[in-house]
Structure 1
Amino acid sequence: MTEKKSSGPLAGIKVLELGTLIAGPFCSRMLAEFGADVIKIEAPDGGDPIRQWRVLKDGTSLWWSVQSRNKKSVTLNMKDPRGQDIAKRLALDADIIIENYRPGVLEKWGVGYEDLKKINPATIMVRLSGYGQTGPMKDLPGFGAIGESMGGMRYVSGHPDRPPVRIGISIGDSLAALHGVIGAMMALRHRDVTGGRWNGKTGDECVAGQGQMVDVALYEAVFNMMESMVPEYDYAGVVRTRTGGALPGIVPSNTYTTADGENIVIAGNGDAIFKRLMTAIGRDDMANDPQLARNDGRVPRTEEIDGAIQAWCESKEIDEALAILKAADVPVGKIYSVRDMMSDPQFLARRMFEQHAFSDGTPLKLPAITPKLSETPGETRWLGPALGEHNDEVLRALGFDDARIAQLKNERVI
């Protein structure tokens, strides 16, 4: 895919990605999708491990096509002082640095936040780690699965009579990445209103807005999603636990099985919606029961209400059930697989898939970019790059001539 120049809302913003796998790269992926110029640093000996994760084409992950779209790949041996020096030069020229190593690793390489801030006061560094940059656990390895567990998500996921389950995606990493994007945008706004981008000079000639470190812990990003858990426990001693497909304390909202064995989600928990739902399924007695008119009256009778809805669902095949409830203006939906998504009229109408092709012409669909901006939408300018594909371009921009670049290659610095 031919590289295109960015015209997005972040065009002109320079981002340096020092990270691997999911949290850091997903964070910079979103910035790249909306126009930022992202340089991704990879180890020369194999690059980011996600290149070999899940389903592969010609030895490279299909996931890579999405996770690293619009990024430039530069290889650097960060154990070599020359590699560290190049990384530092790129970091000082960046508007935003995104990293997800263990705390202390960047400091060991001389590109930590405090190292860069001394030279460039406008430095914005987004640091994503398992437990954050402080605290007794900061030096421990922390993956998304651990963040989901410590942050409370796993405790409430699954059925009450079985062990907790994981959501089928790396949600902890992705939530941390989204918090990183939000933090980066807020920090960039603050930098710009306090003086703007660093002018590259030091001492009395230095002109720069105020940068800052954005400290994102995976477990805290998950914890931030946990709704009313803290005040409920503090005030009433309530420990929310696993409730299967139901939404605890909000009735009815659950997963039900139809006559043909399909599963649908019905959310009839609004008071007016509940009345329409029960009327639609032939339970006027419940629709007109004063005790069930409000959620606090329905909660004690959750089992009875769910039983009535399930009994009705068991008498209908899924298409009929969906049609009846949609006609009654009740929120209802089939649980989609990716196969369902790819042919669904809503997904297609919203253009949620993009058609691309590999360099050999093999077609490939990617998920479209969200959120949708009316005037400056994101775009896929190119698919995930080959390892070190942009070495020459980036190093020449730093002033390296061809002979010096060749030497760095021969000595396995890049």
Structure 2
Amino acid sequence: MSKNTSGPLAGIKVLELGTLIAGPFCARMLAEFGAEVIKVESPDGGDPIRKWRVLKDGTSLWWSVQSRNKKSLTLNMKHAQGREIARKLALEADIIIENYRPGVLEKWELGFEQLKAINPSTIMVRLSGFGQTGPMKDLPGFGAIGESMGGLRYVSGHADRPPVRVGVSIGDSVAALHGVIGAMMALRHRDATGGKLKGEGQMVDVALYESVFNLMESLVPEFDHAGVVRERTGGSLPGIVPSNTYTTKDGENIVIAGNGDAIFKRLVLAMGRIDMAGNPELERNDGRVKHTQMIDDAIQAWCNTQTIDSALEVLKAADVPAGKIYSVRDMMSDPQFLARDMFEQHQFADGTPVKLPAISPKLSATPGHTKWLGPTLGQHNDEVLLALGYSPDAIAAMKQDGVL
């Protein structure tokens, strides 16, 4: 089957109004699969993420990923003409993505209801800390707050220590993925009810804390029905035994998930623990839960005799799910990552080579494609404004007046 490199979202126009992580990551995924994404940035420095973490020539390496395939348009939203241009773009867009505090777009006359009154097919994805309603809607809400309020931080870490954060901005990224899912469902509904000109648009209201909360498995019914509050348990998976992180004799960390009944038997036999394999109390998970510490101690004792490589070899032969905890250095040379083409080779404008993570998920007929790295600030001003019908002289005047 031939692959369509234009992407499944070719022909879809997206306007990105927002900064940093949640909104831009949502728009990034649409851009990776062929949508035309116009990212509006302030002329005064642009998106702050341009200066986050490790920089090359003054621009974040993160930027090259977070804004690949996007067009950068600078607009001074304090200027009436800047807001007018944004409104024109919003009214012709298939999807608008924004992550300002609730009420900001309404002040600019770019709110959902305001745009929908003109274009009933408007689809707007709104990402915020606490959603568009409720007593907390006007409060600033970063990913860290969403992770805390949504329950993730409470269960992350060891029981005898304060909660920890996941090593990436997981709250923002999970919210972004909810935004993508909502956008695709809204687009499907619009097209089913008449298309871009006559179909029914809608608002996709994504709250960071609710996106995290959506991941929290059986947290609510366990508390409501059984009064159980899930607590921090380090690397273990409480109630599902054994599933934990152990340390090999060469100091590496290995995750072993031997919690299936048949898998557990294969695991302990591979460890040479025939006594455990024949113990009827350990045949089923509910019995193993009562002996969690004993089982974990036995697995750790075995790991103390193994290097990471020897442990993985033994467990692979026994068909027991296990894996080393990877750093990025491990990933870059791992045969599975390489076989799946999980890295893309690109070049910066000065010719310096750089690898980026490949695009996920992998579609067999219409895969995502990196057309260009994150753009320079205002790189597409002329292209976008000419397409809107502005003349070169008008564009020059707007630059002179501080609109762009």
Q: Say if 1:259 and 1:315, in contact at 8 Å, map to a contact too.
A: yes
The one-character-per-residue Cα deviations of 1:377-408 (angstroms, maximum 9, x if unpaired) are 00000000000000000001111001110111
**Aligned positions of 1:8-407 closer than 5 A:** 8-198=7-197, 208-407=198-397
1:82 deviation in Å?
A: 0.7
Q: Deviations over 1:74-125 (max 9, x none)?
A: 0001111111110000000000000000000000001000010001000000
Give how far 1:236 is off. 0.3
Q: How many percent of aligned residue pairs carry the same amino acid?
A: 79
Distance 1:39 1:79 in 2: 19
Which runs of structure 1 show a deviation greater than 3 angstroms over 4 or more consecutive aligned residues?
none
What is the rounded CA distance, in whole Å, between the counterparts of 1:151 and 1:294 in structure 2?
A: 32
| Structure 2 counterpart SS, 1:366 | strand
AA in 2 matched with 1:410: Q
Aligned length: 401
Quote the offset at 1:286 in angstroms. Answer: 1.2
> SS in structure 1 opposite 2:196?
coil
Distance (Å, rounded) in 2 between the aligned partners of 1:350 and 1:211: 37
The amino acid across from 1:144 in the alignment is: G
Q: What is the CA–CA distance in structure 1 between the aligned matches of 2:5 and 2:125, rounded to whole Å? A: 22
2:367 aligned partner, one-letter code: P
Q: Name stretches of at least 5 consecutive residues in structure 2 with no aligned partner.
A: none
Given that 1:6 and 1:381 are in contact with CA atoms closer than 8 Å, whether structure 2 keeps it comes out as no
Q: Which moved further from structure 2: 5-14 or 167-176?
A: 5-14
Q: Which amino acid aligns with 2:195?
A: G
Could you tell me how far apart the structure 2 residues matched to 1:313 and 1:66 are? Answer: 38
- Inter-CA distance 75–66: structure 2 relative to 1 (3 Å threshold): same
Tell me by how many angstroms 1:290 deviates: 1.4
CA contact (8 A) 1:144 1:218 kept: yes
Measured against aligned partners, the alpha-carbon deviations of 1:279-298 in whole angstroms (never above 9, x if no partner) come to 10011111121111111111
Which secondary structure does the structure 2 equivalent of 1:152 belong to? coil
CA distance in 1 between counterparts of 2:265 and 2:364 reads: 37
Amino acid at match of 1:194: T
Paired with 1:232 and 1:288, the residues of 2 have a C-alpha distance of: 32
Work out the CA distance in 2 between the residues paired with 1:28 and 1:293: 49
Q: d(CA) in 2 for partners of 1:359 and 1:210?
A: 42
Instruction: Tell me if structure 2 keeps the 8 A contact 1:268–1:274.
Output: yes
SS in 2 for 1:46: coil
Letter in 1 for 2:319: D
Partner Cα separation in structure 1 for residue 283 and residue 187 of structure 2:
48
Q: Contact (CA 8 Å) 1:253, 1:269: kept in 2 or not?
A: yes
Instruction: State the SS of the aligned residue for 1:315.
Output: coil
Give the Cα–Cα distance (whole angstroms) in 1 for the partners of residues 5 and 308 of structure 2. Answer: 45
Paired with 1:174 and 1:386, the residues of 2 have a C-alpha distance of 23
Shifted more, 292-301 versus 304-313: the winner is 292-301
Does residue 410 of structure 1 match 2:394? Answer: no
**Contact kept? 2:143, 2:170, Cα under 8 Å:** yes
CA RMSD of aligned residues (A): 0.8
**C-alpha displacement of 1:299:** 0.8
What is the deviation of 1:6?
Answer: 6.5
Asked whether the equivalents of residues 6 and 36 of structure 1 are also in contact (C-alpha less than 8 Å), the reply is no
Cα deviation per residue 1:229-281 (whole Å; 9 max; x = unaligned)?
Answer: 00000000000010000011111000000111111000001111111001100
Amino acid at match of 1:184: A
Q: What is the alpha-carbon distance in structure 2 between the residues aligned to residue 14 and residue 139 of structure 1?
A: 29
Say if 2:267 and 2:315, in contact at 8 Å, map to a contact too: yes
Q: Is the 8 A contact 2:25 2:66 kept in 1?
A: yes
Deviations 1:283-337 (A, max 9, x none): 1111121111111111111000000000000011111111001100000000000
Provide the rounded CA distance (Å) in 2 between the counterparts of 1:167 and 1:74: 33
